[in-house]
C-alpha cells in the first residue's frame, strides 16, 4: 500500500491461514493459506462452491475453531474465542428451541438488573420483533415457526445486541425472494444507522454485488483466495444499480469465476465417491 492511501484500520485479518480436519479417511485440508483483511466499516461478501470451506473460515473469526497454521486476528490480537463485539448468524438458524421468540431476542441483552433496564430491553425486543415481522409470534416457540420465520428470529437476535461486527453465514438463504429482498434492504438500513463491519457468506452473486463493498471469491476445497473484487457502487445502494452496464459486467465476471470453481468442486466430489 502506498503512503498516499488513506489509512484504514483493519478489524479482522486472516494471515496465511490454513486449516485441516483429521477425519477417519485421513487429513482433509479445508482452508489453504488464506490472507485478507476486513477493515472497519467494510462489508465483505464471501462466495464459493458448497463445501469449499466458507463456514470453516468464518468459524475461525467467530472464535469457534482455530487455524492449523497461520493467524486469525481481531483488533490486532489472535482470536481466542467468541466475543460480544462479534455477532454471529449461523447457517442453521441458531435459535434456542426452549425459549419463546421474545425470550430468544432478549437472551443476548442480558438479565434485567433493574426496572429501567428491563423496560429498555422490552423496547429493544419490540423494535426488532416489529422490524422482522414477528410481533404476533412473540410468545411462540421456534418449533411453531416456519423456516423463514426462524431465520428472521436469528437475525433479530443478532441485531438486538448491536454488535460492531456481524458474521453472517447465508442469513437469507431460507427466505422467499420477496422477504430476502426486504431483509437485504433492512440490513443496509441497519448498517447505515449503526455503523458496522460485516462478513457475509452467500451463494448469490446478485446479493454479494448489491450488499458488499468487497467480494472475496474462494476456490473449490481447500478454500484459497481466487480473487478479491472491489464493488464500484456507492452507498446507499439503490436497486437500480442492476440496470447499469458495469453491474452486468461485474455479475458475468463473478459468475464465471464462481462457476469454474463449482465445476472443480463437483469434479472433486465425483472423484471422492468413485474412490470409495
Restricted to residues 86-115, the positions that interact with Mg ion (CB under 5 A) are 91
Beta bridge partners of 214: 44, 230
Q: Under the criterion CB under 6 A, does residue 30 sit at the interface with ligand ATP?
A: yes
| SS3 state at 229 | strand
Alpha helices in 94-146 (DSSP H): 101-107, 115-131
Comparison of 25 and 195: residue with beta carbon closer to ligand ATP:
25
Integer Cα distance of 162 and 158 in angstroms: 7
User: Residue 82's binding partner, choosing from ligand ATP, Mg ion, none, with beta-carbon cut-off 5 to 8 A by kind?
Assistant: none
Residue with grid cell 421456534, as numbered in its chain: 142
Would you count residue 51 as binding ligand ATP (CB under 6 A)?
yes
Give min distance, CB of 52 to ligand ATP, in A: 4
In whole angstroms, the minimum distance from the beta carbon of 202 to Mg ion comes to 10
Output Rg (C-alpha) for the chain, integer angstroms. Answer: 20
Would you count residue 152 as binding ligand ATP (CB under 6 A)?
Answer: no
Closest to 49 measured CA to CA, from 224, 211, 174, 199: 224
Closest alpha carbon to 228 in 218, 220, 239: 218
Q: Which of residues 194-213 bind Mg ion (CB under 5 A)?
A: none
Integer Cα distance of 163 and 167 in angstroms? 10
Q: Which is nearer to ligand ATP, 6 or 24 (CB)?
A: 24
Report d(CA 117, CA 120) in Å as an integer.
Answer: 5
**Contact status: 56 vs Mg ion (CB under 5 A):** no
Rounded Cα distance between 48 and 40, Å, is 23
The answer to whether 173 contacts ligand ATP (rule: CB under 6 A) is: no
* Single residue of 38, 44, 45, 52 touching ligand ATP by CB under 6 A: 52
Site for ligand ATP in 176-205 (CB under 6 A): none
Question: Smallest distance from the beta carbon of 23 to ligand ATP, in angstroms?
Answer: 5
Collapsing DSSP to helix, strand or coil, 232 comes out as coil
**How many whole angstroms separate alpha carbon 157 and alpha carbon 128?**
8
Minimal CB distance residue for Mg ion? 55
Binding of residue 54 to ligand ATP (CB under 6 A): yes
Shortest CB 55 distance to Mg ion, Å = 3
* Candidate residues 55, 151, 184, 202; the one interacting with Mg ion per rule CB under 5 A: 55
User: 206: helix, coil or strand?
Assistant: helix
Q: In this chain, which stretch among 51-59, 93-101, 104-112, 187-195 interacts with ligand ATP, using CB under 6 A? A: 51-59
Binding site for Mg ion (CB under 5 A): 55, 91
Amino acid at each position: 500500500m502506498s503512503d498516499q492511501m488513506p489509512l484504514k484500520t483493519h478489524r479482522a485479518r486472516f494471515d496465511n491461514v490454513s486449516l485441516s480436519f483429521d477425519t477417519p479417511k485421513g487429513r482433509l485440508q479445508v482452508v489453504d493459506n488464506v490472507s485478507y483483511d476486513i477493515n472497519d466499516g467494510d462489508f465483505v461478501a464471501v462466495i464459493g462452491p458448497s463445501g469449499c470451506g466458507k463456514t470453516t473460515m468464518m468459524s475461525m473469526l467467530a472464535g469457534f475453531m482455530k487455524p492449523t497454521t497461520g493467524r486469525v486476528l481481531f483488533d490486532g490480537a489472535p482470536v481466542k474465542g467468541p466475543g460480544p463485539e462479534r455477532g454471529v448468524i449461523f447457517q442453521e438458524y441458531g435459535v434456542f428451541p426452549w425459549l419463546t421468540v421474545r425470550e430468544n431476542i432478549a437472551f443476548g441483552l442480558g438479565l434485567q438488573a433493574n426496572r429501567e433496564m428491563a423496560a429498555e430491553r422490552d423496547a429493544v425486543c419490540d423494535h426488532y420483533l416489529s422490524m422482522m415481522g414477528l410481533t404476533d409470534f412473540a410468545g411462540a416457540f421456534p418449533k411453531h415457526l416456519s423456516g423463514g420465520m426462524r431465520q428472521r428470529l436469528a437475525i433479530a437476535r443478532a441485531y438486538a445486541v448491536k454488535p460492531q461486527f456481524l458474521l453472517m453465514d447465508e442469513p437469507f438463504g431460507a427466505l422467499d425472494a420477496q422477504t430476502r429482498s426486504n431483509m437485504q434492504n433492512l440490513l443496509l438500513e441497519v448498517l447505515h444507522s449503526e455503523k458496522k463491519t460485516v462478513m457475509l457468506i452467500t451463494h448469490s452473486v446478485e446479493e454479494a454485488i448489491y450488499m458488499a463493498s468487497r467480494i472475496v471469491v474462494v476456490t473449490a476445497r481447500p478454500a484459497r483466495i481466487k480473487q478479491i473484487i472491489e464493488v464500484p457502487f456507492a452507498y446507499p445502494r439503490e436497486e437500480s444499480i442492476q440496470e447499469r452496464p458495469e453491474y452486468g459486467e461485474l455479475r458475468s465476471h463473478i459468475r464465471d469465476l464462481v462457476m469454474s470453481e463449482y465445476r472443480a468442486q463437483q469434479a472433486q466430489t465425483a472423484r471422492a465417491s468413485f474412490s470409495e
